[in-house]
Chain A
Amino acid sequence: MRFRYDFGFVATSSFWGYQVYLAILNVIKKQKLLFCLPFFFMHTLSYAFGGDWSSEVGLEGTVFAEESETSDTRSNFSLFISTEYYEDWNDGDDSFIFSPRFRLDQNDSERNTFDVSELAWVHVEDTWEIRTGIREVSWGVSLMGGVVDVVNQTSIVEDFFGAKLGQPMINLSLVQDWGILDLFVLTGFRKASLPGPDSRPGLPFELNTDESKISLQNEEIIGLDYAARWQHSWESFEWALSYFYGTSREADIDFNYNVADPGIVSTYDNINQLGVELIYIWNGYSFKYESKTVKGANNRGAGIGMYTAGLIGFEYTWGSVFGGNYDIMWDVSYMHDDRKSSFSAIMEKDIFALGVLNFNDEFDTRISFGSIWDVEDDEGIFLINAERRIAESWKATMFAVYFYAEQKETPPEVIEQQSAAELDRLLRGFELFGDSELEKIIDSFGTLIVEHGIFSDEVGDAIDNLQTIVDNVTFREDNKLAVLKDESFIRIILTHYF
């Protein structure tokens, strides 16, 4: 869609789309003036260069099955807009892309977001191209993603399965007979967007989302991350090898080691990651393998270590099922993650199965059924996604997620251990704290005791607070999904494209 200024601005196509756009712009103005500024900026750009605009605006309504531990919100509305501005010149050898997105949430301030997914210039030559700016990069062979994909930070607040956040970079891509080699220098590390107290799906404890620790081991941010990926194909094989050195995008959680004001913060390690991807096409099947070896990850309590995670599976499409135009695509894979109790590795040995029923009709109707099942612990996530175009440029989506996990009982002796005398034993048994951190806690306790006396309220409160954190944060290895047991939801999304 092209906008043109004419005493203000006038949309030249999709009248209704533009009305909706205006109405939303109004809401945004009333709520937060700042939010509309990039839009005016984009309009000015559009006027100056006359590039190509594609936008979408959507309204999302969610109903949760239960109240959660931190929020009694059972229903929620959220509004989102995303736009892409594209312009190319020199016969397409140079291009510029700008795509910001906004979200306004009824209840969750963590979900009032503005992000620039892309703001980049791409220059193409015969055997190489260079891409400079904020971009989104996707690695990996799995639809689920997540194993080797490391370039962009994600927001699980905006999208439960992870919405990518724009990453500033310079990316040189060499296109040669021996494949495509991408070299990256990445800067501007961004923290993962993690749920706040009002977020749903959320966590049963309060995470201090403003505070975070980066690379505990080195006590500093490297500042620049480096990555490379080589991809090539031969006959029915296609593969990629990738390497990443920098601050991990995966957040783990940790205690802030402040006994006087205890809290939970997200932490990030400096890592070296080697990734392998492989696809083999055979007779309509697509066999997929993806794995990574990560060195330098904290792996909670185990110190600087190494772990591997991987996925193996296949995809197949049954054509012309149910005697008609329908087809069903199956995607089944087995996932494995070495880490026992990392926050990021909620699933360790899991089977992921996805069936997508395509109606192949003029409305592009599609229904997907998925499940992620932890084969060891009998926990799982089930989801259904159904979508259909309901008018020329309107789409309706229904998305439902069910978390199947029961809270396994915490041993009563853990609950009862609240006395100062037992604290030391408690902390030693508590995997979250590495040995080096234990000293910090004992030191800060010592300070409190010296200042206020051992039987003071201050010390008593500190112990209570610690206990609460211990109770909440220690996921049992076999019961991680329990934190999400109240978070099942159904969501209806209405999206307009213009």
Chain B
Amino acid sequence: MVKKLIVGILALILVAPVFAETAEEKGLRIAQEGEHLDDGWVDSTSKMEMILINKNGKETVRKMHSSATEGSNDDGKMLMVFDSPRDQKGTALLTHSHPDKDNEQWLYLPALKKVKKIASKSKSGPFLGSEFSFEDIGGGKIEDYDYKWLRDEEFNGRKVWVMEAYPKDKYSGYTKVVSWTDQEDHRIYKAEFWDRKKSHLKTMTLTGYEKYLDKFWRPGELHMVNHQTRKETKMQISDNVFNQGLKDKDFTKNSLKRAR
């Protein structure tokens, strides 16, 4: 009897951490759930229009389109082709993601008809003069961050988790990213980016969500405001098409040369 009790208490002690989840563990679990929920989109294409707004309100528009495959194990591939401004037309970027090593990237320079392998570590650099940086666009992996759940909250009438993510990479431009994530379907409504000096740099709001294939939520607009420069960028995403049987041949160095 006593022995049983001791075993019971021991078991309770051993198992206890599972029940008393720490804020860090909860944060990681939420991030992982979010990722699993998005499994199975196979491939997609979409169009993007990026509106750069300077502090005087003057707008510059950049257009591009992209195609991507999900891959089986974080080894997705993405091709992004620039359509405007006209002097950049035909420039294309091919990315091969790898689960446990650096991504590979090639840039096609139409004026030189040359494919260039790129090795940039400057993730924090701006993406095409916008308020998005390469790391915002690149879609980081779960393992790239440490997480911490902060609190539950209501956001526009929806229950959300507020949590923080801390980039592990020393080349990241951020010390933390605070996000507001829907508790039901893991849609992210807002994210705040804190720079290396630990001051509030940018806020991104995501709106116009639509559900595709009855499962995958995609935002229609990502609006990034830089509080330090007072510049803004609106990234509008349209014409999302999923699961149309893209092949490997659409994501090779050869395809980069003929990308339109």
Contact = CB atoms under 8 A, between A and B. Distances in A.
B118 interface: yes
B124 A319 contact: yes
Nearest to B104: A233
Given A54-B90, A86-B260, A175-B249, A138 B112 contact: yes
A360 B126 contact: yes
B86 A318 contact: no
Chain A CB count within 10 A is highest, among B60, B90, B123, for: B60
A495 B173 CA distance: 35
A14 B11 CA distance: 75
Interface residues of A, number: 53
Interface in B4-34: none
Interface stretch (A189-197, A201-209, A280-288): A280-288
B198 interface: no
B87 interface: yes
Contacts of A175: 249, 252, 254
B258 A122 contact: yes
Given A54-B90, A86-B260, A285 B119 contact: yes
Given A137-B113, A320-B125, A497 B254 contact: no
Interface string A267-300: 0000000000001011111100000000000000
A124 B119 contact: no
Q: How large is the interface on B (under 10, 10 to 19, 20 to 34, 35 or more residues)?
A: 35 or more
Contacts of B252: 175, 180
Contact of B125 (A233, A315, A327): A327
Chain B CB count within 10 A is highest, among A231, A327, A359, for: A327
Given A127-B249, A138-B114, A319 B129 contact: no
Contact of B87 (A137, A231, A497): A497
Nearest to A17: B86
Contacts of A319: 120-125, 171
Contact of A52 (B85, B120, B260): B260
A282 B89 CA distance: 30
B12 to A, nearest CB: 48
A361 B53 CA distance: 11
Query: Interface residues of A: mostly helix, strand, loop or mixed?
Result: strand
B175 to A, nearest CB: 15
Nearest to A149: B114
Contacts of A497: 85-87, 89
Contacts of A173: 254
B47 interface: no
Given A180-B253, A317-B120, A325 B88 contact: no
B238 interface: no
Nearest to B120: A317
A497 B253 CA distance: 26
Interface string B65-90: 00000000000000000000111111
B113 A88 contact: no
B89 A54 contact: yes
Contacts of B88: 364
B151 interface: no
Interface in A104-152: 122, 124-127, 129, 136-138, 145
Given A236-B102, A327-B125, 15 more contacts: A56-B87, A138-B112, A180-B254, A233-B104, A283-B121, A284-B171, A286-B118, A317-B119, A319-B125, A360-B128, A362-B52, A364-B85, A364-B87, A497-B85, A497-B89
27 contacts: A54-B89, A56-B87, A88-B260, A126-B247, A129-B254, A136-B113, A138-B114, A145-B112, A279-B117, A281-B102, A281-B119, A284-B119, A284-B122, A315-B119, A317-B119, A317-B120, A319-B122, A320-B124, A325-B125, A325-B129, A327-B125, A362-B60, A363-B60, A363-B129, A364-B85, A364-B88, A392-B86
